[in-house]
Amino acid sequence: MAIQRTRTFDPAALERYRVFLEDLLDELENEIVPVLRDGTLKKAPAFGSTPGAYQNAGEQYAEFHATTWRNLQYLRGTLHGMINGLQHAIDTGGETDDWIIQQLPKVMPGSDDIYT
Protein backbone atom coordinates (compact mmCIF):
# COMPACT_ATOMS: atom_id res chain seq x y z
CA MET A 1 0.00 0.00 0.00
CA ALA A 2 1.51 3.29 -1.08
CA ILE A 3 1.63 6.08 1.46
CA GLN A 4 0.20 9.33 0.17
CA ARG A 5 2.56 12.16 1.01
CA THR A 6 1.28 15.65 1.42
CA ARG A 7 3.46 18.68 1.46
CA THR A 8 2.46 22.05 2.72
CA PHE A 9 4.30 25.29 2.27
CA ASP A 10 5.30 26.88 5.57
CA PRO A 11 6.82 30.32 4.94
CA ALA A 12 7.38 30.84 8.67
CA ALA A 13 9.59 27.73 8.80
CA LEU A 14 11.57 28.95 5.80
CA GLU A 15 11.96 32.35 7.44
CA ARG A 16 13.25 30.78 10.67
CA TYR A 17 15.77 28.74 8.70
CA ARG A 18 16.81 31.78 6.65
CA VAL A 19 17.40 33.77 9.86
CA PHE A 20 19.41 30.85 11.28
CA LEU A 21 21.59 30.80 8.15
CA GLU A 22 22.03 34.58 8.29
CA ASP A 23 23.21 34.26 11.90
CA LEU A 24 25.74 31.64 10.82
CA LEU A 25 26.89 33.88 7.99
CA ASP A 26 27.25 36.86 10.33
CA GLU A 27 29.33 34.78 12.75
CA LEU A 28 31.50 33.55 9.90
CA GLU A 29 32.04 37.03 8.44
CA ASN A 30 32.43 38.93 11.72
CA GLU A 31 34.24 36.46 13.98
CA ILE A 32 36.00 33.76 11.99
CA VAL A 33 37.09 35.40 8.74
CA PRO A 34 38.71 38.42 10.48
CA VAL A 35 40.90 36.11 12.59
CA LEU A 36 42.26 34.45 9.46
CA ARG A 37 42.43 37.64 7.41
CA ASP A 38 43.80 40.13 9.94
CA GLY A 39 44.07 38.42 13.31
CA THR A 40 46.16 35.91 15.16
CA LEU A 41 45.92 33.21 12.49
CA LYS A 42 47.08 35.47 9.67
CA LYS A 43 50.73 34.70 10.31
CA ALA A 44 52.32 31.40 11.14
CA PRO A 45 53.38 30.97 14.77
CA ALA A 46 57.00 30.39 15.77
CA PHE A 47 57.76 26.70 15.34
CA GLY A 48 60.92 26.40 17.38
CA SER A 49 64.58 26.34 16.53
CA THR A 50 65.07 22.73 15.51
CA PRO A 51 66.76 22.56 12.12
CA GLY A 52 64.14 22.48 9.40
CA ALA A 53 61.24 22.86 11.86
CA TYR A 54 60.26 26.35 10.81
CA GLN A 55 60.55 25.65 7.11
CA ASN A 56 58.55 22.41 7.27
CA ALA A 57 55.95 23.65 9.74
CA GLY A 58 55.74 27.01 7.98
CA GLU A 59 54.94 25.34 4.68
CA GLN A 60 52.33 23.14 6.33
CA TYR A 61 50.78 26.14 8.05
CA ALA A 62 50.68 28.11 4.82
CA GLU A 63 48.91 25.21 3.12
CA PHE A 64 46.50 24.87 6.06
CA HIS A 65 45.77 28.60 5.98
CA ALA A 66 45.15 28.65 2.23
CA THR A 67 42.89 25.59 2.37
CA THR A 68 40.95 26.95 5.34
CA TRP A 69 40.55 30.34 3.68
CA ARG A 70 39.33 28.76 0.44
CA ASN A 71 36.85 26.53 2.30
CA LEU A 72 35.52 29.50 4.26
CA GLN A 73 34.94 31.37 1.01
CA TYR A 74 33.09 28.36 -0.42
CA LEU A 75 31.01 28.22 2.76
CA ARG A 76 30.23 31.95 2.51
CA GLY A 77 29.05 31.46 -1.08
CA THR A 78 26.96 28.46 -0.13
CA LEU A 79 25.29 30.32 2.74
CA HIS A 80 24.57 33.32 0.53
CA GLY A 81 23.05 31.01 -2.10
CA MET A 82 20.91 29.17 0.43
CA ILE A 83 19.69 32.44 1.96
CA ASN A 84 18.81 33.82 -1.48
CA GLY A 85 17.07 30.57 -2.45
CA LEU A 86 15.01 30.56 0.73
CA GLN A 87 14.06 34.20 0.23
CA HIS A 88 13.03 33.43 -3.35
CA ALA A 89 10.85 30.54 -2.11
CA ILE A 90 9.26 32.82 0.48
CA ASP A 91 8.66 35.55 -2.10
CA THR A 92 7.09 33.19 -4.64
CA GLY A 93 4.92 31.34 -2.17
CA GLY A 94 6.86 28.12 -2.57
CA GLU A 95 5.94 27.56 -6.19
CA THR A 96 8.38 25.23 -7.82
CA ASP A 97 9.62 25.86 -11.31
CA ASP A 98 8.40 23.28 -13.81
CA TRP A 99 11.98 22.77 -14.96
CA ILE A 100 13.03 21.69 -11.46
CA ILE A 101 10.14 19.25 -11.24
CA GLN A 102 11.20 17.72 -14.57
CA GLN A 103 14.93 17.61 -13.76
CA LEU A 104 14.80 16.34 -10.17
CA PRO A 105 14.09 12.68 -11.05
CA LYS A 106 17.11 12.72 -13.38
CA VAL A 107 19.54 13.80 -10.66
CA MET A 108 17.84 12.08 -7.72
CA PRO A 109 16.54 8.64 -8.67
CA GLY A 110 13.45 7.74 -6.67
CA SER A 111 12.39 11.35 -6.23
CA ASP A 112 9.81 11.24 -8.99
CA ASP A 113 6.96 11.22 -6.46
CA ILE A 114 8.29 14.03 -4.29
CA TYR A 115 5.87 16.60 -5.69
CA THR A 116 2.80 14.37 -5.77
| Secondary structure (DSSP) of the chain | -PPPP-----HHHHHHHHHHHHHHHHHIIIIIHHHHHTSTTSSPPP--SSTTHHHHHHHHHHHHHHHHHHHHHHHHHHHHHHHHHHHHHHHTTTPPPHHHHHHHHHHSTT-TTTT-
For 18-72, how does the pLDDT look when each residue is reduced to its tens digit (9 = 90+)? Answer: 999 999 999 999 999 998 888 877 777 666 667 777 777 778 888 988 999 999 9
Q: Note whether residue 1 is domain-resident.
A: no
pLDDT band, very low/low/confident/very high, at 98 (cuts 50, 70, 90): low
Q: Note whether residue 113 is domain-resident.
A: no
Task: Provide the residue range defining the domain that includes 87.
Answer: 11-40+53-107
What's the structural domain count of the chain?
Answer: 1
pTM: 0.69
pLDDT band, very low/low/confident/very high, at 111 (cuts 50, 70, 90): low
For 7-22, how does the pLDDT look when each residue is reduced to its tens digit (9 = 90+)? Answer: 677 889 999 999 999 9
